[in-house]
Structure formats: C-alpha cells, structure tokens
Chain A
Amino acid sequence: MRVLARLNRFYWKYKRLFIPGLLAAVVSASFAIVVPMVVRMSVDSIPRFVTLYKSFQGTPVADALYAEFFVSLLFFGIVIIVLSLLSGVFSFLMRQTVVVASRHIEYDLRNQLYDHLQNLSHDFYLRHATGDLITHATSDIEQIRRYIGPAVMYTARAVVIIITAMTAMFIISPQLTWYALIPMPILAVSVFFVAHMVHSRSDALQQQYSVLTSRVQEAFAGIRVLKAYVREEMEAAAFEDESRVYRDRSLDLARVEAAWRPIFLILVGSASIIVVWIGGKLVMEGAVTIGNIAEYIIYVALMTWPVAAMGFVISMVQRAATSMDRLCKILDVEPSIVDGDQTDTTIDRITGAIRFENVTYRYETDGAIVLKNVDFDVRAGTTLAIVGRTGAGKTTLVEMIPRLLDPSEGTILIDGFDVRTIPVDVLRGSIGYVPQEVFLFSDSIADNIAFGNMDADSAAIETAAREADLLDNIQDFPDGFETFVGERGITLSGGQKQRTSISRALIRNPNILILDDALSAVDVNTERTILQHLRRHFGKRTIIIVSHRISAVQDADHILVLDDGEVAEAGTHDLLLSMNGIYASLHRKQLLEAELEAIE
C-alpha cells in the first residue's frame, strides 16, 4: 500500500482540480440529502390539508384552501426538482474535475514511463518481454488511475452522504435509524468480498484465455506436424479440454458475479422492509409520521451506492497498489548507458578511428562468452569488413561501437578516447547504423529516411535514397516519398526495406557507417551499385561492413573472419585467399553458387 504514497505529489500538482471537485462532491451530496426531507414534509402535509379541507367543505374557504394547497404542493414538487437539479449540476462538476484530473495524472505517469523506457539500454530490453512493458504502460496505469480518480471521488461523496443522511435520520428517530441501518455494513463487507473474488476469478479466467490462445496458435502454426502424424483428433480433444477449463473458469466467475444482484436486492430491500415494519409500528405509537417512512425509504436508496462504493474502493486500492508496485520496478531501474561523471563533455565531434583492445563480451556475468579477446585497429576513413558464420559474434561486435552494449572486459577507443567518456549524443550522432534486422516505423518513406536526420530537407532525402539505390523504386510508387510503410500502407520487399534502412543511415552523413549484414536481401547488382556509391566517400568515412557475401567485402582495407567469438583470420582479400582457410572456402562456395544460379 505504501507505494501509492508516491502518487501524492500528483494530488498536489492538480490541487486546482481536486479541491473544487471534492467541494462539489460535498455540495452535491448535501442537496441530494434534502430531497427526502421535502418529500416527508409534503407527504405529512397531505392528511393535514385533507382534514382541514373536509371540515370546510361546502364553504367558500374550501376553494381558497384548495388553491392554497394546489400552490404549496406545486411548490414542494418544484423544490424537489430544483434540489435534484442543483445536486446534478454539482455532481457534473465533480466528475468534470476529479475524473478529469485522474486522466491528467494518467497522462503524466505514462509520459514519465515512456521517457524512462527511452533511457534504458539494450540489455534491459533483452530481459523484458515487449508485451509486459506494454501492459505496464496501459493496464497497470489504468488501475492506478482508477484509484486516483473514481476511488477518491466515491469516497468523498460517500462520506458526505452517509454522515448527513445518518444525522438527519438520527434526529428523526434513533430507533428507526438503527434498525434501518443494520443491512448497511453487511452490504459494504459483502461488496468487498465479492469484488475481491470477482477480480481473482477474472484474473484466472484471463490466464486460461491466454493458455487457450497459445494452444490455438501452436496447433495452427504446427499444422504440418499435426496433419503428418494424424494428430488432429488428439489435438482437438486437447483443445476441447482447455476450452472446457475456460468454460468452467467462466462459470466460476459467473457464480460470484451472479451474487451481485441478490446482495443488493436483499440487503437494500430488507432495509426498506425494516423501515416499513419498524416505522409502521412507530407510526402506530405516534412516534413518527407516514412521511418519515417515505423519507427513510429514499434515504436508504440514497445510501445504497455510497455504502457499496466503500467496498469497491477498498478493492480498487488493493489492485492499484499491486499495479504501482509493478510499475515502480520498471521506474526504479537505473539506466546503464547514459552520460555520467566519466563523460568528457569537451569531446564534441569524432572522426572515426576505431580500436578494440582485448574486448570480451558475455551477456551475464557468468554467462557464455560471445566475444573473446577481440583486438583490431581501424584508421579513420578506411573500410573494415567482418565475415563469419551465424552466431560467430559479428552483430555483438558492431553493437558495441554505438554503445548499445558495453564490453564485459577490454576497452573500445574511438579517436583514442574510451567510448565511455564520449557523450552518448556525440558518439551516436556521428554513427550511421544499419541493423541486421530492418526495423521501419509505420510512417511515410520520407519520414522513415528523415528519421536519421530531422533537419533534412527533401533534397537531402532524395540524395540519401539515390545513394541507397532506392530512388527509382520510390518514384514508381503512386505516392512517391509519401507512400506509407507498414500495416496500413504498402508492403515493401525485403530489399526495399533494407535500402530504406540504409538511406536512413546515410542521411546522417556519418563519420562512421556500420552495415550489419545490410545487403543480404538485395541482389548482387544492386549491392555493387550501393557499394560504388559508398566508395565516393572514401577516405572521409569509416565503414564497417558485416556480410556473408565475399563480393561485399573483398574490396575492404581489412577483413576480419570471426569464428566462435574469436578472430580466426585477418587481412586483405588476397592475403586471406592465399591462407586457404575459412575465408577461402567461403569464396569457393560462392563462386559455385553463382555458377548454379546461372544454369537454366
């Protein structure tokens, strides 16, 4: 529960909404509570008037009395309507302030969470599933909001109504009040327990829903195996079992949910019956009037919701606390790769000389080694190529240059500075990175390219697209650069996506360009064109190419062959060929492949 105290600053921040809102809650409740009193007065006035009227029947006074009565009853009626109108206006104001404030706080919290997520480094995302993070940003924050807004509002309103109604009732008849209120605490307690059961059971139901979903997902994704082994019948039976569990959980939930109506019905109904019963007896004794009975019936009805709300509020607070707990676990993670004391703020640009000194990397402290004692030196303006099998550590190696990862041991130097001392913005600002797995945003092609450089004008976007050999494709699209990419737009081919990703890196005009297997989905001719474009910046830009294809790497100044996390061979193309090792055999195979490709 204590974690919820972290939200208190928000109440303070939005005090201009909360204070008037809570006042409105009080005022609205006060008006509502007067209505039953007026009803009582009018009901009680009726027999008096009737007796009076009858005793003057036949005289001219009777007409005057009727007129008088007509007006006063009309007056009572109007007062009742006006009171409820006033109460309504304030209850409107209450919702418009308190609930609105809760939406503001929700907004603030979500911004805070997203801002924090942006600062967390790559290793955090390796440890957390995307789905979980999105749940935190949506449903957990929603739970917290319910506590902030509705729960606070209901409490304020409930307290006012319960206290004032009880006061009014006690003044009239303490005896009748005690009896009438007997069901109320039971109501609050049962609401709390039922709400609690409903929540735990609906969580259980939700869980089974995911089980059911993943069962379906697996069966349909593995349909080949199921069909080949004639397991359809068994799988259908297994699905039916899960489906049956789901049905039973639904019914578990239905059983407690079915309790809602009877609880309200019986407790509220018995309160009214008690009023008629005890009230009736008291009327016979002359202690209260018939009007009081009508008044009490309305009081009891008025109190029902506030009393029940107290039960709901307690369970809302519990849920909010759990959600807040989960959220804090994320918010309290310290970002590991950010500028700090070690940062040398005088470094404001880098030229691109890269040096790895005995770099070793493992994912966890005692985890398996991904890179081992990698050592190399790249002069600014030259090209380094890295080849090797899948899983050899190529991606991990290049991810360390823009500090997506920091080495476990060893040092990486850029322009002679330890990368950890270079301001992150300066470092990443000088790097154009094309990741192995292309990731584009659902946005226009132009925006996706300009993602690399916000200040880029359309001429710059076009240049970048031309350098990545993408311009012709874009011009063929009906909407050109404004063509939308992603689910709601067109589907780009793998090669087009890669080239967009390359344009995005090129538009930064970076001093270091990293291509992590970035040409795998384009054909050999396109690859050649792109490489030719890149060569124009020769001497001014450090290029790092990771590739499977010899054709992409053979012209590099220096080639590293990684095997199992270690540098197995290094040198120029000719040197490596003459070594007749991994590189040479790779080269041979690719020549053969090309030959096979050519056979018609």
Chain B
Amino acid sequence: MSKGASTEKKGIDGQLLRRIITYLLPYKGWVALAFVFVMTAAFLGPLKPKLVQITVDRDILTGDLEGLQQMIMLLFGILVIEGVLAFVNAYLTQWIGQRAIYDLRTKVYRHIQRQPLRFFDRTPVGKLITRTTSDVESLSQVLSAGVVTIMGDLFKLIFISYFMFTLSWVLAVVTLAVMPLMLIATFWFKKKVREQYRETRKQVARLNSFLQEHVTGMRIVQIFSREREEMRRFTEINDLHRQAHIKTIFYFALFWPIIDIVATTALGLIIWFGGLNAMSGTLTLGVLIAFIQYARQFFEPIRNLSDQFNTLQSAMAGAERIFDLLDFDESLKESEDPVRLEKLFGRIEFQNVWFSYNPDADPEDEEAEWVLKDVSFSIDPGQSLAIVGATGAGKTTIISLLLRFYDVQSGTILVDGTDVKDLLLTDLRNQIGLVLQDVFLFSGSVEHNITLDNSEITSKQVIAAAEAIGAAGFINRLPRRYGHEVRERGMSLSHGQRQLLSFARALVYDPAILVLDEATSSVDTETEEVIQRALEKLMEGRTTVAIAHRLSTVQHANQILVMHRGEVRERGSHQQLLAQDGLYRRLYELQYREQEQSVSA
C-alpha cells in the first residue's frame, strides 16, 4: 500500500513505462496501423469546420446550390469515414491491449506457479491473486488506448491550431488565448478530484471493512447487546462517507460550468474580434461560423489527455509490483545434465538428512531450527514404511522432501540410487502418488478431480480406478455421477468420500511410489472398512511411505520409523517396537489402541 502511494507521488517513471510498452512489441504492426487511423481521424475532425467555412462563403452566400450540395456530400462522406475510423480504432486498440494483457497475465501466472513451495509458504495467496488479476488489469488502459490515443489527441490539437491559423490568425490567437484557462481548469480539477477520490476511497474502504467485520461478527454484536452503540458508530462512518462524496460533488458541480464558461468566453471573444475584422473586410461569415465550432472542438482532446495522464499514473503502481515479482525468480534449479529413469523400481533412501525451513540454515549450526536432524532410512521396492510420532515431529517434512518440494541443507535423498536433485522434477513426481490427509478437491466434476485434467487418462480408466477403490458406489449415487460438480473445495462430499476420491486419483496415475498422509479424523466403521480395503489395493506392488494414523497401516508396515522432535528415535516392526516399551508403546496407546478395541468389539 505504502509502496503504491509513493509511486503515485513520483508520477510517471519513464523506464517503467518503456518496460510496459515492450509488451506491445509482438503487435507492433497493429499498433502502427492504429496509429495511422488515429492520425487520419485527428485530421478529419478539424477539417469539417474548414469545409463548412468554404461552403458558407463560396456557396450559400453566393446562392450556388449545386456547390452546396457537393460540399454536403463531401461532409457526409468525411463524417462516415470518421465514424468508421473511430469505431475501428477504439476496437483495434482494445484488441491489441487485451492481447498484451493476456500475454502478461499468463507470464505472471506461470512465473508464480513455477516458484517452489518455500515461496508459497511465505506469500499469502491473496497477494498472488492480486498480482495475477487486479494489478495486471491496472495496466490494461495503458496497453490498449494509452500511447496511441495520447498521440492522436496531441495531433488533433495541432491540426485544430493549424486550421485556425490558416483561416484567421487574429481569431486563432484570440481562441488560443482562453485555452490556457481551460488547461488550468482541467488539470486543477483532475488534481482536486484525484485527491478527493483518495479520500473517498479511504471512506469507502472504512465503510466496507466495518460492514465486513460487523456482518461477520454479528453474533458478537448481538450477544453483547451492542446494537445501539454499533449503529451509532456505523452512522458516524456512513456520515464521513457521505461527506467525502458530497465534497466530490462540489468539484464536479464547479468544473462543468467552468468549462462551459471558458468555451463560451472564447465564443464571445470570437464574435467581438471576428465582427470587427469582418468590418475591416479581413474576415468572412463562414470563418466566423467555423471558429464557433473550433472553440468547442478544442476541449475534448484536452480532457482526454488529462484522463490518460491519470491512468498512466495509476498503472505505475501496479506495474512496479508486477515487475518486482517477475524479477525475483527462485524456482528450484533443474539439473543441467539430468539422469533419465524410464520406470522407477521404487527404492528410496534418506542419507543423513538435515533440513530447516530457513533456507540459509548452516549445516554446522546446531542452534538453527532443524526440523529434521540426521535422518536416515531406506525402503526396498514394493516395501512399506510407516512414520509415526507426535505433532511437530517432522513427519510431513519427510514426504515433502521426497517429492522435492524443498531442497535439503545437508545429506542426500536417493530414489533408485539417484540423487533426487539429478532427476527432472517431472520425472520424479510423475512416479510418486501423493494422498494428503487434507484432501484438496478442485471445483469441477468428479472425473476432473480424479484425472486432474490429464487427457491421457480415459473415462474407462477413471471408472475402473473408482471401482477398484470402492468409490464407484457413492459416485453412482451422485446426481450426475462422474460429471457431478464438486463445489467449493469439495464441501458437498463427506470426508470419507473425499478420501476415496483422492485414492482413486492416486491409483489412476499408477505411480511406483505411494506417499500417504493419513487423516486423523475418524470416519464411521463402514467407511473405515471401505477405506482400508482401498488402501490395500492402492499399496499393492508399490513402495509406500505413510504417515500412519491407522492401526492397520502400522501393523502391516514392513518398517516403522518413530520420529520425535526431528529425530528418528526408534525403528523396527510393530511387534518389535511394542516389545521395547518406549516411545512407540505410548504412541500406540494414544493413537491406535482404541482402534483395536473398536475393531475387536
């Protein structure tokens, strides 16, 4: 916010503007065409009063009806061309601008998406949305109408002046004499209105945030019987909002009459000086009538220019934020000479892995906030590993590292004997199926959520996967089955159903390695059975790493890793660990024993 405000004060930054304009380069042919059109229109507008002058003096005053009619035809012709040009121009500039905006938006989106998870951990999603939507949008005026229109308006002013001077330099000087007044009035008004808008925006924001807060917290207002007091405060804010607007009305109420008065002053002066000149025989009536029109034509380009000035200014803040984002790329380095593995067997090995979410943590520094400390383990193809431990033990971090969401500070992670850093991210992740406990569903159909829009997966495969998992039952009961729209992060489905969908998603991708973060929240016994069967199906023939919350998962795991405060404290099979009577024993009592009771019961 503060950054934006400072940019607004700075005005227009040439360098930034040039950088914005580079997005027009792919369309430079079209821009040149638009430029030609605009110039033509800028010439044709001021030409008309000149032609009216000719016809008044040459035809009307001499009674030459034929000459008049020819001129009228010409005028109509010009008018039509001008109209067509105005339309084509307005559309063409938008056409160019929207294409450039599209390119920029795509670039911003892809840039963000490419960033590693570290970037997303740090940056609120709201900020990223603003960059891709409204910040990009703020450049649209500059990229479309901006440059071309500014030139068009400048040239229009020049052409008007040219015609005026050729008709009568005295009247031209008289007319131009009031123009500074108009310029001053316009720019004064724009400045005031801008200031006032800032105040109005502030009040609108206050009003909105009061409403937002109070509608959300209405329960609190009502429980504490604060209705009267909050009404008073609302009235106060509403009143300030009203006052800000009323002040804006004042400037508008003043501006329009002033412009009219200045234009009419030019008219009055033209009549006075024009009449005197006519007396001395240096001016005709046609010229006088032409000048009456020029005095009115002059205002439009001036107003347009001041508008453009404003849009340029407001675009600067958005442009700065966008370029700041684009200039800072921290996406993970892909190996220069990657090892390509056609199909993984699924052997996983962690060798003395140290990891901290602070990327600059020094491996030598014992004090750094290590989430994982010297973690080592290995899993043979097709085997399963269950990771257990209390919250904050580092379980989730292990699976994030396996997927190379982050790079480790020290140690190595090997898949089939190759360092994950030497593999292409795509190759690595394509071989891993991830099932998170907080199942993230996208809005779209059930099928879309299973395939994630992968067109290589056929509907048949989707149905087969859903059936194998045991999700077909509930999907077939949905109103539109596989076409059923999942709304707002899957709120229309139950927790168990969402789990099953994410299993089907993993199965359909047929990965060599399965990574599971099991849900803690319990589901009813019936669903639990379905899920357990689905899990068995899913784990068949795959190397599995599971953050286990299910008794069956720990019981069947080939190896259990007991994590505590970032370290591996115990490892072994279920029976071995139980016999040890250590950490695992307590975790078992806490998390799993009850399941045993409910299963046996």
Contact = CB atoms under 8 A, between A and B. Distances in A.
Chain B: interface secondary structure?
helix
B249 A99 contact: yes
Interface centre among A46, A232, A272 (most CB of B within 10 A): A46
A259 B83 CA distance: 9
Contacts of A115: 231
Interface in A252-267: 254-255, 257-262, 265-266
Contacts of A133: 211, 215
Interface string A217-253: 1111111111111111011101110011001001100
Contact of A222 (B264, B292, B442): B442
Given A92-B254, A117-B215, A216 B440 contact: no
Contacts of A269: 48, 79, 82-83
A84 B237 CA distance: 39
B219 interface: yes
B101 A247 contact: yes
Interface residues of A, number: 140
Interface in A558-578: none
A224 B82 CA distance: 55
B68 interface: yes
Nearest to B216: A130
Interface stretch (B161-169, B239-247, B349-357, B460-468): B239-247
A50 B278 contact: yes
Contacts of A125: 215, 218-219
Interface string B267-288: 1110110111011010001001
A104 B238 CA distance: 10
Contacts of B213: 441-442
A346 interface: no
B199 to A, nearest CB: 14
Nearest to B434: A228
A7 interface: no
A329 B274 CA distance: 63
A47 interface: yes
B426 A599 contact: no
B577 interface: no
A388 interface: no
B245 to A, nearest CB: 5
A474 B402 CA distance: 44
Interface string A424-453: 110011010101000101100000000110
Interface string A149-190: 000000000000000000000000000000000000000000
B129 A220 contact: yes
Interface in B23-61: 48, 52, 55-56, 59-61
B497 interface: no
A137 interface: yes
Given A96-B253, A294-B288, A258 B109 contact: no
A76 B272 contact: yes
A64 interface: no
Contacts of A81: 261, 264-265, 268
Interface stretch (B87-95, B313-321, B365-373, B409-417): B87-95
Contact of A230 (B221, B429, B521): B429
Contacts of A379: none
Nearest to B389: A596
Contacts of B256: 91, 95
Contacts of B72: 273, 276-277, 280
A597 B586 CA distance: 11
Interface string A65-90: 01001100110111011011101110
A600 B390 CA distance: 12
Contacts of B99: 247
A42 interface: yes
A457 interface: no
A200 interface: no
A114 interface: yes
B219 A122 contact: yes
Interface string A104-131: 1011001100110111111001000010
A219 B227 contact: no
Given A89-B257, A118-B230, A596-B587, A243 B285 contact: no
Given A39-B267, A89-B257, A225-B434, A96 B83 contact: no
* Size class of the B contact interface (CB-based, 8 Å): 35 or more
A254 B99 CA distance: 13
B429 A258 contact: no
Contacts of A59: none
Given A220-B128, A266-B79, A230 B425 contact: yes
Interface stretch (B110-118, B333-341, B376-384, B551-559): B110-118
B21 interface: no
Interface in B49-86: 52, 55-56, 59-61, 63, 65, 68-69, 72, 75-76, 79-80, 82-84, 86
B216 A209 contact: no
Contacts of A96: 249-250, 253
B225 A220 contact: no
A492 interface: no
Contacts of A366: none
Given A50-B279, A429-B225, A138 B207 contact: yes
Q: What are the nearest 7 A-B pairs in CB distance?
A: A88-B257, A258-B90, A95-B253, A254-B94, A84-B264, A77-B268, A228-B434
18 contacts: A35-B264, A46-B288, A92-B253, A92-B254, A103-B246, A106-B242, A216-B109, A219-B113, A227-B117, A231-B454, A236-B109, A247-B99, A258-B88, A266-B82, A428-B224, A435-B219, A585-B594, A593-B590
Given A91-B257, A115-B231, 16 more contacts: A39-B271, A43-B285, A46-B274, A46-B278, A80-B267, A103-B246, A106-B242, A107-B242, A110-B238, A114-B211, A114-B231, A134-B211, A230-B429, A284-B63, A290-B61, A451-B226
Interface of A: 35, 39, 42-43, 45-47, 49-50, 53, 66, 69-70, 73-74, 76-78, 80-81, 83-85, 87-89, 91-92, 94-96, 99-100, 103-104, 106-107, 110-111, 114-115, 117-122, 125, 130, 133-134, 137-138, 209, 212-214, 216-232, 234-236, 238-240, 243-244, 247, 250-251, 254-255, 257-262, 265-266, 269-270, 272-273, 276-277, 279-281, 283-284, 290, 293-294, 297-298, 301, 390, 402, 404, 424-425, 428-429, 431, 433, 435, 439, 441-442, 451-452, 454, 504, 508, 585, 588-589, 592-593, 595-597, 599-600
